[in-house]
Amino acid sequence: MLDLAIIGGGPAGLTAGLYATRGGLKEVVMFEMGMPGGQITQSSEIENYPGVFREDPPLTGMELMEPWPAQCMHFGLKHEMAEVKQVTKEGDIFKVKTASSEYEAKSVIVCTGSTPKKAGFKGEDEFFGKGVSTCATCDGFFYKDKEVAVLGGGDTALEEALYLANICSKVYVIHRRDSFRAAPPTVERATKSEKIEFILNATIKEAYGSAMGLGGLKIEQEGKEIDLKVPGIFVFVGRNVNNEVLQQSDGSYLCDLNDWGEVLVDLKMHTSTAGLFAAGDIRVDAAKQVVCAAGDGAVAGMEALNYVQEKFNG
């Protein structure tokens, strides 16, 4: 039986494994369906993880994560390259099911992250990471004193537009309707910002550019075409929370989630189910940053260690 099963091998899962094994848990397996490292490995530059800044050429996400697995494995963490299909609990014991096997575990940390939805306009994939972004905290600074666009009319879009307005010279908010899902106070703050200009009842038809990156956007607004020459477009059209592994056969979830499917945790990453922890982008109120996911993983790893020792070895 495993002491701890970790689902997901991004910054949260790897750090959870490091803290749990180095703290003394023996049988710890991290289930990661791909290579460990998580979604930051898709990023061409990261400059906000403390202690590893490189200006020219910028540090890539892949370079940041490259040494993490070896450090974690050194203390005993094992990697099972498999997609977990479902986690259940019978009595005090969890069952972790992959396509071909079933494992028993005394505790589980779920770190499967969340994935931004795509808007579906032409060029969105082609220019992703070269002008199209889904993270203002990550990439906003690259557009300091430049004009950028934001797509969406929800809380995330308007809050991130306000964040970008602190850095960029102008922020165009493109929204397909003329009313917003975002909370009225947030809409009011965005409307009052001198740096934010709304382009409403509008859809992006195409993102265009060259090998150098995004050149601009072709937008359709009430029958007319607008050519918006911006080097950056931030897409905030919702997120898919990767919580499928927690879904039970009757459609319920193994622990409490909020209305958007994020896992509810306390400050120690405990979920509503004893012995089940969540860390990183999957949890409620996650800052969706590598440093925060790693911090969550450390807390969850230490808490899983305490739980197993008190419950099973005490």
Nearest-approach distance from CB 91 to ligand FAD, in angstroms: 24
Catalytic residues: 135, 138-139
Contacting residue, 176, 189, 195, 218, with ligand NAP by CB under 6 A: 176
Residues that bind ligand FAD (CB under 6 A): 7-13, 31-34, 38-40, 42-43, 46, 48-49, 83-84, 111-113, 129, 135, 138, 242, 245, 280-281, 288-291, 293
Cα dihedral sign, 290-293-295-301: negative
Handedness of CA 301, 278, 76, 29 (dihedral sign): positive
* All residues at 6 or more sequence positions from 92 whose CB lies less than 8 Å from its CB, including other chains: 106, 274, 275, 311, 312
Residue 50 vs 185, nearer CB to ligand FAD? 50
User: If phi over 0 gives left and psi between -120 and 50 gives alpha, with beta otherwise, what is residue 154?
Assistant: beta
Asked if 63 and 43 count as a contact pair (C-beta separation under 8 A), the reply is no
H or E stretch at 236: none
Write down the least CB distance from residue 23 to ligand NAP, Å.
Answer: 34
Report, in angstroms and rounded to the nearest whole number, the Rg of the chain calculated over CA atoms. 21
Tell me which of ligand NAP, ligand FAD, none is bound by residue 80, counting a contact when its beta carbon lies within the kind-specific cut-off of 5 to 8 angstroms. none
**Residue 165, both tokens:** 């307005």
| Count of C-beta atoms within a 10 Å radius of residue 154 | 17
Shortest Cβ 312–ligand NAP spacing (Å):
37
Nearer to ligand NAP, 97 or 205 (CB): 205
Rounded least distance, CB 291 to ligand FAD, Å: 6
Question: Looking at beta carbons only, is 176 or 195 nearer to ligand NAP?
Answer: 176
Q: Return the range that interacts with ligand NAP (CB under 6 A); candidates 8-16, 96-104, 149-157, 221-229.
A: 149-157
Q: Closer to ligand NAP by CB, 117 or 146: give it.
A: 117
How far is Cα 4 from Cα 250, in angstroms, rounded to an integer? 25
Binding site for ligand NAP (CB under 6 A): 119-120, 151-157, 159, 176-177, 181, 236-239, 260
